[in-house]
Amino acid sequence: MDLKQRPPKEASIERYLVEQARARGGEALKVAPLSCAGLPARLGLRPGGRVGFSAVKRKGKAPAPVQAWWLAKLTALGFVALWADCREDVDSFFCML
């Protein structure tokens, strides 16, 4: 596969998430939940007390079953919680917050 055709790495999508959070006056904090396996690693914070959770993956990679469980649980609790594997998903995440 040509280098130009490779999907963006997870780190590239995470950087975009942080950039977009700050551009909207917020933050995208990386959390390390040692006691909760599968909890999304990014906490999106926006002005007005809006909070969301995001799991960032490489393009085409789905969350592990425990991550999918947490995303569903957080959504059921009323939080915005999703996984992003491209810039468009990141943009959607912030539109939902």
User: What are the structure tokens assigned to 86, written together?
Assistant: 């491209």
Q: What is the DSSP letter of 18?
A: H
Taking only the tens place, the pLDDT of each residue in 16-36 is 999 999 999 999 999 987 788
Q: What are the structural domains of the chain?
A: 3-96 (3.40.1350.10)
**56: number of Cβ within 10 Å:** 25
CB atoms within 10 A of CB 17: 23
pLDDT category of residue 3 using cuts at 50, 70 and 90:
low
Give the residue among 5, 3, 12 at the shortest CA–CA distance from 90.
12
pLDDT tens, residue by residue, 32-79: 877 889 999 999 999 999 999 999 998 888 999 999 999 999 999 999
The token pair at 87 is 């810039």
pTM for the whole thing?
Answer: 0.86
